[in-house]
Amino acid sequence: MSRENAIEAVNLTKRFGDFTAVHQVSFDIPQGEILGLLGPNGAGKTTTMRMLCGILLPTGGEARVLGYDVARQPEEVKRRIGYMSQKFALYNDLTVSENLDFYAHLYGVPRQKLKSRLAGLIEMAGLRGHEKQRAAEISGAWRQRLALACAIVHEPPMLFLDEPTAGVDPVSRREFWNMIYELAGRGVSVLATTHYMDEAEFCNIIGMMHSGHLIALSDPDSLKAGTQGILLEIECDDPGRAEEILAVLPHVVDVALHGILLHVTVPDESLRPTIAESLTAQGIHVARTEIVLPSLEDVFVSMVGAENRAGVRTETD
Ligand SMILES: Nc1ncnc2c1ncn2[C@@H]1O[C@H](COP(=O)(O)OP(=O)(O)O)[C@@H](O)[C@H]1O
Ligand SMILES: [Mg+2]
């Protein structure tokens, strides 16, 4: 275990009966970095996280968190991490302050540090002036920030966030991520899961999960740069029919609808006029074709496509 890695996972696997929820997942998180696990529901993100938190015993592979083996030393791991689970538990009948106080006692924060610690967290979470409000009375975005404050009340060097901003508006999500940045800036390492593709852009490293497999692991820019060919964004009438026409063209690698726009992957730029002509020939008016940088969503779609074409390594391997 190198000292710089907060997490080292090697072939981490979880089977439930004969179903494999997480299949040989390997990655490191260097200290102070934010790794985002991205993927649709059921991909295995929560299961991966729960194994790393020492809550769920792996059925294969191994992982060290802050130097401790998650299977053999789960209590050592649990004591040193912060975990904001998908359904984080705030006490609705308690006030903002009382919730923090409760978690501070649970984690054994020393008495003499309590007051300044809680004041700092209230400040960081932007909850000053709301200390006496009951958790049930504050907005979803504030509850999320309070939950984060509760999860870090013992100042853990490693933080696990399971879909921390689900259901929160974009502005509040950004504010939440600013808090995460601040923590990472202080050396805290973070593993966060999300299914918001845009949110993954906030992470230093992205792991894309699909059907229990980690199908990509890289920084956001490399992931985008690593996609094959170029991406054309096409605005035309009848995008649905245009998609069908383009899907069967031999030089089209991928085509996907993005709202009313089409995203078409082709091997190189010279095909741009050909694509437009193919549509015009079928009576579709093309308003615009433009070369765009792929979003993480494009990358994900193309990775999953490639994985499926390769016949997603069977469930039995
Ligand atoms: N305790 C369990 N028993 C059986 N299957 C489970 C259990 N927990 C999770 N699963 C299954 O494992 C898969 C991955 O779940 P999960 O890790 O929660 O995915 P995600 O967090 O990416 O949505 C799902 O198909 C889920 O139904
Ligand atoms: Mg989940």
Six-digit token string for 270: 């010279």
Q: Within a 10 A sphere around the Cβ of 30, how many other Cβ atoms?
A: 14
CA-CA distance, 317 to 304, in Å (whole number)? 18
Q: What is the CATH number of domain 228-293?
A: 3.30.70.100
Residue 67 identity (one-letter amino acid): G
The radius of gyration of the chain's CA atoms, rounded to the nearest angstrom, is 23
Residue 78, C-beta contacts closer than 8 angstroms, at least 6 positions apart:
53, 54, 55
CA-CA distance, 132 to 128, in Å (whole number)? 10
Q: Whose CA is nearest to atom 16 of ligand 1?
A: 44
Provide the CATH topology of domain 5-221.
Rossmann fold (3.40.50)
Query: Could you give the residue range(s) of every CATH 3.40.50.300 domain in the chain?
Result: 5-221
**Which one of 13, 14, 16, 83 would you pick to mutate in the ligand 1 pocket, going by the greatest count of ligand atoms within 8 A of its CB?**
16
How many angstroms is it from 58 CA to the middle of ligand 1? 13
Q: Are 125 and 149 in contact (CB under 8 A)?
A: yes
Six-digit token string for 103: 């978690």
CA-CA distance, 21 to 45, in Å (whole number)? 9
Location of structure tokens 């968190």: 65
Six-digit token string for 252: 């089209």
DSSP state of 62: E
Q: Ligand 1: residues within 6 Å at CB? A: 16, 21, 39, 41-47
Q: Please state whether 273 falls in left (phi above 0), alpha (psi between -120 and 50) or beta.
A: alpha
The per-residue pLDDT string of the chain (317 residues; one tens digit each, 9 = 90 and over) reads: 445 899 999 999 999 999 999 999 999 999 999 999 998 889 999 999 999 999 999 999 999 999 999 999 999 999 999 999 988 889 999 999 999 999 999 999 999 999 999 999 999 999 999 999 999 999 989 999 999 999 999 999 999 999 998 888 888 888 899 999 999 999 999 999 987 877 777 899 999 999 999 999 999 888 887 777 888 999 999 999 999 999 999 889 888 888 899 999 898 889 999 999 999 999 999 999 999 888 887 888 777 777 776 664 444 44
pTM of the entire predicted model? 0.84
Query: Could you give the residue range(s) of every CATH 3.30.70.100 domain in the chain?
Result: 228-293
pLDDT for 227 equals 72
CA-CA distance, 140 to 89, in Å (whole number)? 13
DSSP state of 291: E
